[in-house]
Every structure is written in C-alpha cells, then in structure tokens.
Structure 1
Amino acid sequence: MTPYSTRTMNLGHLVDQTARRLPDRPAMIRGDRRWCWAQMRARVDAMGRMLARDHGIGKGDRVLVQSPNNHQMWESLWACLKLGAIWVPANFRGTPDDLRWMAELSRPRLLICEAAFPDHAAICDLPALAIGQAAFGPDIDAALSGHDDSPLRPADIDRDDPAWLFFTSGSTGRPKAAILTHGQMGFVIANHLADLIPGTTEDDASLVVAPLSHGAGVHQMLQVARGAATILPEGAFEPSEIWRLVERHRVSNMFTVPTIVKLLTEDPSIDRHDRSSLRHVIYAGAPMYRADQIRALERLGPVLVQYFGLGEVTGCITVLPARLHDAAEGWALQGSCGFPRTGIQVEIQDESGHPLPPGQTGELCVTGGAVFAGYWNNPAANAASFRDGWFRTGDLGHMDERGFFYLTGRESDMFISGGSNIHPREIEEKLLLHPDVAECAVVGMPDPTWGEIGVAICVTRDGSSPDLAAWLAPRIARYKLPKRFLFWDGLPKSGYGKITKKLVREELTRREAATGDG
C-alpha cells in the first residue's frame, strides 16, 4: 500500500467554492448578458451531467473543442474537469486539417464545435455538439434543457491525472499536446495569483483579449479562483472596443502578448477612455521590444507585468513585476525577462547539461511544480525535452549575478553566417529604435558564400523605405548587420497574435519563389 496520498483537488471544485461564497456576484459578462456565479455553476453541472449521460464522457475521456471565445466553450472546460475528463481545445483559427490531426492524436470521444465551423466538424467524423444552430449536431444549449443543474460532485482525482491537452504553437512543425494535470495546474493557479496579479478579489474584473484555448484560458482560471468577473468582448479584436470595455467595467487586469499591447497603446482611442482601473497588464509569449515597452509605460503607467513561460511550464518560469519596469534611459534591467517564479528553479545549462556561470549563454532549463507531465503519445519529443529531470525550453539566454535572466532567442532562430552565431533578437531590438520602424523580423536564409545571411523584414509606419543599413551600421557589430532589408505592409502572425520566424520565413520563401528572386 502506498504510504502517502496522491489525491489532489479536482480543479472543477474552484467553481463550487466561488459559487458557494459569491453566488450573486458576476462571473462572466458579454455585451448585455451576464451570468452570476450561481448560474455559472448550475450551467457547468448541467453540462457535466449531459456529457456523462448522453455521450458517456467520464474520467480520462477526451473532449475536443473548436470554438472562438464564448461562455459555452468556457463552461465546457469546467464540466470536463468535474467529470475527470480531459479538455482538448484547438486554436479556432486553425484549418479543418489541423483539427483532424489533433483528433487523430488525442482520440477524443466527442467534439464540441461552434456552428460557424461545419467543415471542421465534418472532417473529424466524431459525435458532435454545436454551439449555436448547426446541421452537424444538436445545439449545446438545447441539449442542456431538462438536465439536473443541482451541485455535481467532482470526480476523485490524483495529482497526475490529466486535465487539459495544451497544444503548443507548432513553430517548428506540427503542434505537440502538452499534458497539464490537476496537481500541476493547482500549483500554476496559486503561482500566477501570487506572482502576476496579487491582491485580486471579487471586486476585480479581467478582460479577455486572447483565445481562451491557450494562455488566456489559464489566466481566466485565476479569476474563477478569486471570484473576479471575466469580461468577454463581442466580435473581432478592436482596440477602441477594448478600451471602452476597460472603462465601462473598471477592468483591473488582462493577459495578452506584446504585439497586442503595442496595438492597444498605439491606437488613438486609448485617450478617449478612462483606464485608471488597470493594475496588471500581463504580457507573455516573448519579451517586449524596448521601444514598445517605453510607449506602453508612458501610456498606461506602471502596470506592465512580464512573464516568460512556455505552455509546457504553463507560464511559470520567470516574472518581471510592475514595480521593476522602468521607462527611463539606461534602465538596469533592460532586456530581462525577470527572476524565477515562486517554487521554480531555473538554470542556464551547456550542451551537456552542466550549469553555466553568470554571464555565459546557454539553454534555459527548468524544474518545479509547474512543469507538465510530458507530451501526449510522443515519446521521442519527451526524450528530447527532458534531461536529468530538467525540462529543456529550447530558449537561449544568460543569467546575471543577481539571478535575473535574459533571453537571446530560440535555439531554432539562431543562424550561422561566416562561422559566427547570430541571434536575431539583438538586431530587431536595434531596428525598432528607428523612429519609422513599426515591426520587424530578422531571419537567417541560405547563402552560397556565407552559409546563411541575415534578412531583415521591416514594416514602417508610413510605408517608406529608409536606409536602415546605414542607420544600423554604427549601432551593431559589422558581422551581425543583415545583408538584405525588405519592406512589407505587415508581418504574418500566429493565431495568438505573435510574430513567429517560421511564418515569416515561409512567407519570404513564397514571395521569392513567386518573383524568381533569392
């Protein structure tokens, strides 16, 4: 007999706790519709009973979800958690083939699909529930009619029982499914509350500006734990609408990525709305370029919180809190992604796994309670991603004497030109200090003379094509200077609003093939 307990709290119990404590307080608001915590709990429990009775969903079963942000999609997470089933949300911007591959990997028992995606539903060949009226399956709201909505006791759960298959962004190939467990996610929620949005209560409100299928969904779980209201915008992302909602609902926190912060703070609508309620604007996915960081601090005040963390560690690697951000020239922590999160150990390691001293560049490796339980049905990826119990992030960087970390870039982004290792991020940081450059990406491309050369793709504010080579030359080592500068109307972005080198490189290759250039 095991001499200790591996039992942990079922994450679905968070809804029960909050509904019991704050039954009449708002849980979710979208347009003119709002649901209090008692209503949210009742809908979650009715959905859980419906999934179990009508579709046989139980502990360990996977439920695939294809939907943009809405309350039904969000409720499906909590219903799955209560049953001990595994939530498998897709990026709704993906193609039908993307969803089919996710279904082949995860082998779900049921698909929950928004009515606007009939081709996705058709290609999966699964029993389906629709969010809205659709031919491929019954409307989930209609299916809930008549189901008992009295409190549903969450299934008994062990620490390592899977809760969520979190698909990576797939920047180097097909997305992998990271296994997030109940015990691990319990640690993550407590960690995020402590390190990102301390002091959050039911008097706060959180605005969703990214897909709930990924990091924004994890962030909204914190609001459930504290009873804060979640504000869901209607329609596509629109900066003026975001600022209107911030003012109307006195929004205190939101989670996003640097490119979205840039769009929000550059939009003229920011000056038409009161944003004084904001305390925490969390950005992740990449460090923010310094020029964008300064602009955001000047417009929003000291509210920026940066964290570095992959889906595999569910965001919990490092944090740079608001009090350490500074817009002043010569800021001592410029370029830093912060210090290790509470309960997390971070180490810079060489290729053999040995720790490196401060100042030396190597791979960021991490261990602690937030590290995932491996990739679903992917032993090769697991073998490559773990070494001596450390998770290998694939990110390069160094640590200073005080324990602050600095990212150089992804190992896969680095290119070698004339025998020298070149990390694009340093070049991009410099380019973005040019007053005309709004966005840029530097990628390595094959070259018969140098092996690889740097190609800088830039977006300017007025559509001009300044001589960036001459401007950049005195600001960077000569061997790092890109050999080519291209000007596009915009850079391709992932479904999460991030500029990824994979998409930029693919678009560059496509354009050069079309013109016969390169």
Structure 2
Amino acid sequence: MPGRAPAGGVAPCSRRVMNLAYLLRQAAMRFPDETGFAWGDASWSWAELDARVDAMCVVLRERGVVKGDRVLVQSKNCNQMFESMFACFRLGAVWVPTNYRQTPEEVAYLAQASGASVMLCHADFSGHAETAMRDTPTLTSLIMIGSDDSQADYDDLVAAHLGQARPMADVEQDDPCWYFFTSGTTGRPKAAVLTHGQLGFVVTSHLCDLMPATTHRDAALVVAPLSHGAGIHQLVQTARAAKTVLMTNERFDAEEAWRLVERWGITNLFTVPTILKLLVEHPAVDRYDHGSLRYVIYAGAPMYREDQKRAIKALGPVLVQYYGLGEVTGNITVLPPELHDETDDADARIGTCGHVRTAMQLSIQDAEGRELEVNDIGEICVCGPAVFAGYYGDDAANAKAFRNGWFRTGDLGYVDAEGFVYITGRSSDMFISGGSNVYPREIEEKILQHPDIAEVAIVGVPDRVWGEVGVAACVPRDGRRLSEGELLAWMEGRVARYKLPKRVVFWDALPKSAYGKTSKKLVYEALCERGVLPSGGEQAAHPEPIGVAKARDGARGTSAVGAE
C-alpha cells in the first residue's frame, strides 16, 4: 500500500510516478513539428496535439473535473478520442471509454457503474448521450464531438481555450487513470482499474518485448477501437513519438488498410487474429507495398496454426503474438517474429503463445491453488507490475480474481520444459464427454487443416448419454462445398473418437463480437436460433454453453486485451 514502510526501517515515502500525459508532452517538446496523428486528409503535429489537450483540460476543469473524477467517452475512433485520453490523464482524472457499438442502455450502465461526472459523446450517438444523462444522476455535464445544436462542440471549446493550460496533476503508483471495461461475456461488464504506475510499466514492456527499436520514424495503423487494446498501443506509440494513423471507414476495409500501409510507410499494427486473417487473404495484400512492416502484432484470441502459416507466407517474418487479458493489459507472454515458424518440423513449437514477458511471473495451478508440474494442464495465473489494481466497486469479483496474490486468468494451459506457454482454452470452453476433458481448441486446429474449411468454432452442449458433446460450426472457403459426413470421415484417425463433434453445421460466417472476435456464446445462441439445438428436454436447462454456465457459477470470465 502507498506509504507503508518497507523492511529495514526506511521511512515511508510517496510512490509518485510519471503522469502518463507526460508522454505526449515529451513528444511535443522533442518533435514539435512532426506528424503525431493522421486521419484521412487531416493530420496534427505533436505540438498541436499537446496544445489541444491543454485546452480540453481547461474545459474539463471549468466543468468541475478534478483528480479522481471519471469522464465517460462514447465515440468511434477520431482525433478527439485520442486527445480525451491525455486530457483525463493530465488532470489526474479517470478515462472511461466505451465500446461505441454498445446500445444506449449499455452505455448508461457504464456511466452508472463508473460514477462518471462528465460525458464526451460523438454526435453520431446523441441517443446514447440522452439516455446516459437521463439515467445517471452523477452525470452533470455533456460535451458533444461534432455538430449538435443542443450542446457545446468539442472543437469549438478547444479553439476557445487554445493557449491556456493547467498544471499536470501529481500522481502516484496506484492512482487510477483508465477504467478498462471487460466485455461481460459471463455477466455485466466490470471496470478493471488501470493505474498510472501500472500502465507506465506496460508501455515500457511493450516497447521492450513487442516492438523493440521503435522510434519517432515509425508509424502505426489503427484497425480496432481506441477504447480498448488499440488504445494501449497508441499510448505506446506516443511514448516514442511514432505517428498514429486512423482508417477512415467505420467498418474494417482491408483495401484501405493496405493502401494506408503503403502511403504512410506503416511499420507496426495491432490487431486480432480474425482481422489479420482478413488482411492476408484479401487480394489487396499483393497490390500495395507493405515492405515497411516490421511488427504485425496480434492478440485477443489464439491464432490457428494454418492461419499463422498463411500470414507468415504473405507478410514475411513480422508476426508478433502476445497473450494477455485487459486486467494484465497484454503482459503475460510474447512470441516474437524469430519464433514464428512457417514449417511444422520437429523443432517448431506449434501452438505456443510464447514465453513469459519481462518482469512477469506465471504459475500453472490446480483448483486449490497448488502449482503443477511441467506439461500438466491447469489454470494460468500471473503476478507482476502489469497486473491491474482490481475491479472498481466489485469485492465479489476481486475475491474470485485473486488467490494468494496471483491473478487468475480463467484460461487453461501448460508450460513446457523450456518455459514456453501453451493455451488449451478457456476454463469455460472445456467440456467433459464420457468422463474425459475435451478442449475445443485442439479439435478446431485439426479441422482447419482441411483445405475446404476457412473458420470453425466448437461449443460443448449437454447430452443425455455422454454428459456433454461438441457441436462444430464451420465456414467453408469460397466456392467450396462439404457435407457433415465428409468432414467427420476426414477427421477419423486425426483425433480420438470421444473428441469428435457430434454435429457439424456449415454457415456463411461465424457470429463475431463487437471486437471482431468469435464468441462461443454467440455461436451457441446462433445454433439455438437456427434450430440446430433442441429447445426442450435436457438442453432447455442450459440457456448458454455448458462451459459458460460453469464460468458464471465458479470460474471468473474475462477477456483478452486485444478482444476488447
């Protein structure tokens, strides 16, 4: 705790740390005229961004925002969203970004759960602002981003206060700066409290482990919402004064992405496996020069081996995988480019998510918290300076999330003799068929080796005979056709019979979450809606996949930082 005297009789002292907004100030001092942020035909220098953040700090302070207050931000990607983060940090306030695809009622809940006092809202979401302001007693002020005759406009307010500034707030190690809301796959979203000290370490670790040698000459392309994992990555870019480039389309457009890579000489981008797969399989990958890329970082979900091999073939040795949840802000493992192998020879570590990150420690534990031996499967638990401060206002969730000082990820996996980590799946994904544990990831990897299959997701469902069985939802490659019997026959001998799915269905696409991630819960719901699963009998007692129900009852459900 802050102020506690350490061993040895040393007097207690403040644990003051750098205010994260100093990263922007430093970039403005060192490279004032260089482009810091680009969006479409517009761009802003580091000096301009710093001045605009100062002006917004004055605006927020005039509306009563002081250190510790929460500022809710409902916006799609834009320069104002980027600036709002640093304005909150500079005041010592807490940035509370939403996923802009959420409904007005969901956003109002986030306002209430965070106790926000001011809301910044993009004009495209005026209905969200109306609902949140009406239903949240703590919200006393609203600033619209874009034209809205009823409220003050963000840019007009900034223009009126340019040249004004407020002192940067003093902050300590555990002072909160960002409420990082989980996706709420097993209940309502929870606010993971990220702090100045913790994120200062995360920035350093990302530069060390994910994208070493990054400088002001680099450029990053944003292909995901800044409200979550992509926001962490633009913070890292700012620390090295590397420019951030936004896409202009709200919906992901692979053609535009590759065009921007060529135009800006993009050196790194952060994405999730689903989007990376779309990028490398789009014909535009061969029409634009992407030789500038040094790091294509993916996280948020495991990347299947066949997809990895295609990406390496298309892009070369630039892939970087990391594993980490929002609560650990990405900092659990890393698999750098030199450990990504296109071959499947005996020396390749197929299926690993890498080795443990710098200054972090990992432990594979059983249900009672005992550490397991090498190659034994258990829950992945971690400790270290990247672990968050806990969930805001949720003692019950905190009690489940921590055990003996270890943060419990809810993911299952093992560590080999060389220290490489392997994820076998979420504890909530595993199901038990005929008394044997079945991990869907293993079977999904096998199915993706079939030349006609592009995507697959397997969920466990109740079964009167075996207890639980798997149902596989598959997406064929364009122009390919395959029957259930043909696929199951092909799988014979490739996996044990008890692991074979009981049913296989073929769809044009798998349902995705707002973060572009294939959600097992959404797949299950789609199976029910399309009449694949019976509505009565034994399954009627399980309105969601059995593993998800288990997670709700015991295991803690949470999401990776890249999925957010």
Normalised-by-shorter TM-score class: over 0.9
Partners of 2:119 and 2:12 in 1: how far apart? 40
2:121 to 104, 113, 126: 113
CA distance in 1, matches of 2:191, 2:170: 24
Map of 2:196 onto structure 1: 182
User: Which residue, out of 325, 332, 336, partners 1:321?
Assistant: 336
- Is the Cα contact below 8 Å between 1:128 and 1:136 reproduced in 2? no
| Counterpart secondary structure, 1:246 | helix
2:31 maps to which residue?
22
What TM-score, normalized to structure 2? 0.90
CA distance 1:241–1:148, change in 2 (3 Å): closer
Is 1:490 aligned to residue 543 of structure 2? no
> 1:302-360 CA deviation, whole Å, 9 max, x = no partner?
00000000000000000000111110122521100101100000111111111111110
Q: Distance in 2 between matches of 1:42 and 1:471?
A: 62
CA distance in 2, matches of 1:244, 1:450: 52
Cα distance between partner residues in 2 of 1:11 and 1:268: 40
Secondary structure class of the residue paired with 1:145:
helix
Distance 2:109 2:523 in 1: 23
Correspondence 1:442-453 to 2 at 5 A? 442-453=458-469
Match of 1:102 among 107, 110, 115: 110
Residue identity in the other structure for 2:436: S
Which structure 1 residue ranges, 5 or more long, are not aligned?
A: none
Contact 2:412 2:426 (8 Å CA) reproduced: yes
Q: Letter of the 2:80 partner, please give it.
A: Q
CA contact (8 A) 1:122 1:136 kept: no
Equivalent residue number for residue 562 of structure 2: none
User: Which of 151, 164, 188 does residue 178 from structure 2 map onto?
Assistant: 164
Q: How far does the alpha carbon of each residue in 1:158-206 deviate from its partner, in whole angstroms, 9 at most, with x for none?
A: 1100000001122222111100000000000000000001000010000
Structure 1 length-normalised TM: 0.98
User: Does 1:42 find its partner at 2:51?
Assistant: yes
Equivalent in the alignment of 2:67: 59
| Matched ranges for 1:458-497 at <5 A | 458-461=474-477, 462=479, 464-466=481-483, 467-497=486-516
Contact 2:222 2:244 in 1 (8 A): yes
Larger deviation: 162-171 or 404-413? 162-171
Deviations 1:191-248 (A, max 9, x none): 0000001000010000001110000000110110000000011012100100000001
Give the Å deviation of 1:118.
1.6
Instruction: Determine the structure 1 residue equivalent to 2:230.
Output: 216
Question: Paired residues, what number?
Answer: 517
1:32 aligned to which of 33, 41, 53: 41
Q: What is the CA–CA distance in structure 2 between the aligned matches of 1:290 and 1:501, rounded to whole Å?
A: 19
Alignment of 1:268-279 (within 5 A): 268-279=283-294
In 2, Cα distance between the equivalents of 1:19 and 1:232?
20
How many Å apart are 1:145 and its aligned residue? 2.6
- Is this contact kept in 1: 2:179–2:192, CA < 8 A? yes
Identity %: 56
Match of 2:208 in 1: 194
The one-letter amino acid of 2:220's match is S
Q: Is the 8 A contact 2:52 2:162 kept in 1?
A: no
Structure 1 residue identity aligned to 2:132? C
Give 1:421 shift. Answer: 1.2
What residue ranges of structure 2 are gaps of 5+ in the alignment? 4-10, 134-138, 540-564
Would you say 1:414 and 2:437 are equivalent positions? no
Give the corresponding residue for 2:349.
333
- Matches for 1:65-144 after TM superposition, within 5 Å: 65-125=73-133, 126=139, 127-135=141-149, 137-144=151-158
Counterparts of residues 266-305 of structure 1 (less than 5 Å): 266-305=281-320
Structure-1 separation of matches of 2:374 and 2:165: 53
Q: Is the 8 A contact 1:444 1:454 kept in 2?
A: yes
Contact 1:463 1:489 in 2 (8 A): no
**Secondary structure of 2:531's partner?**
helix
Structure 2 residue matching 1:164: 3-state secondary structure: strand
**In structure 1, what residue type is equivalent to 2:95?**
W
- What corresponds to 1:225 in structure 2? 239
What one-letter code is carried by the residue in structure 2 that aligns with 1:278? L
RMSD of the alignment, in Å? Answer: 1.4
* Equivalent residue letter for 2:229: G
Residues of 1 paired with 2:523 and 2:102: CA distance? 17
Higher relative contact order (CA 8 A, sep 6+): 2
The answer to whether the 8 Å contact 1:172/1:502 transfers is: no
Q: Is the 8 A contact 1:347 1:364 kept in 2?
A: yes
Q: Name segments (4+ residues, structure 1) moved above 4 Å.
A: 513-518
Match of 1:264 in 2: 279
Q: Which residue of 2 aligns with 1:510?
A: 529
State the SS of the aligned residue for 2:124.
coil
